[in-house]
Amino acid sequence: MSLQPIGAPDFAPAIVQAPSDVLLSEHQSVAWAPGLSASYGPFNITGQSYAIQLHAEANSSMTNPVCQAVVYWLDAETGNILDTEIWTFTGEEAAFTGGPGMIQGRGPSRASQVVVQIFNWDPSFNFTGWFYLWQSSRVITRADWRGYSSGNAVPGYTVAASDSSALCLAWYPQTALAASNSIGLLARLYAGEAALMIHQSNAQSLAVTINELQPDMIGNPIVYDNEFAGATIDPLLALPRSQCVISLVNNGSASTSVRICLTALEIAS
């Protein structure tokens, strides 16, 4: 039975096109040399957005296992740089085996051409890298890159437990922290609003610092800095385009049990 009114003109239903992604560049198991950068592009961009997937396999002897992806948005006619994105993340001691990459991101197209440079900040060892870049017809309103691997070692860091699919960037189960002792946890990459929760059992003076990894600066910039002696703190934070390290120091006179949770508050694009 037709629902079209009697006497109504014939009509053709509209066809809605599904969003599509077009691969622009693919590089597998390439060497990103120490202290240098690898450049990909320029690529002409006609889509409304881009998608990127990265993996950096670290050498266990690295002293600074940090990569930076710099996205340059160019005017195709003049070559002038119109916009720049910089994302900072660590490598992991695990090869890419397919599936989700260590870093996945999307963002709006900001010009008619794009170049991506990957910087290796370790002074001595190669990263083994995997790089994929797409343009897309999807409408994306903000740049949103996230870390998705978990459980793999990062040289020189204690990697926090995490579950990116559940928006958990760092989780530290209730554990005793002796007086004058400290812990440091590497959280997953995420830029945006986040909630930090730290709970302790014994009301000691705890110093909390969150630093972003910025290897080209003297010292790592402070995102959050506080000292408290109560049971719980739960501040809202604005996290930068860099992986962060959560540091906790027990400045009290006795041991206390602590647990930490850092949660992303924005759904992935």
Burial of 25 (0-12, 13-18, 19+ CB in 10 A): middle
Give domain status of residue 99, yes or no: yes
Q: Number of folded domains in the chain? A: 2
Domain end marker among 89, 121, 147: 147
Measured between alpha carbons, how far is 166 from 77 in angstroms, rounded to an integer? 43
Query: Would you write out the chain's pLDDT as a tens digit for each of its 269 residues?
Result: 444 444 545 545 555 455 688 999 999 999 999 999 999 999 999 999 999 999 999 999 999 999 999 999 999 999 999 999 999 999 999 877 766 568 999 999 999 999 999 999 999 999 999 999 999 999 999 999 999 866 689 999 999 998 877 799 999 998 999 999 999 999 999 999 999 999 999 999 999 999 999 887 667 889 999 999 999 999 999 999 999 999 999 999 999 999 999 999 987 66
pLDDT of res. 94: 82
Alpha carbon distances (Å) from 108 to 56, 135, 188, 189, 258: 24, 10, 22, 19, 40
For residue 178, the one-letter residue type is A
Give domain status of residue 29, yes or no: yes
Does 140 share its domain with 28?
yes
Does 179 share its domain with 123?
no
Does 56 share its domain with 142?
yes
What are the tens digits of pLDDT across the range 42-80?
A: 999 999 999 999 999 999 999 999 999 999 999 999 999
Domain end marker among 102, 124, 147: 147
Q: What is the pTM of this model?
A: 0.88
pLDDT of res. 150: 62
The residue segments making up the domain with residue 34 are 21-147
Secondary structure E strands in 166-264? 168-177, 182-186, 192-200, 206-212, 222-228, 232-233, 236-239, 244-250, 256-264
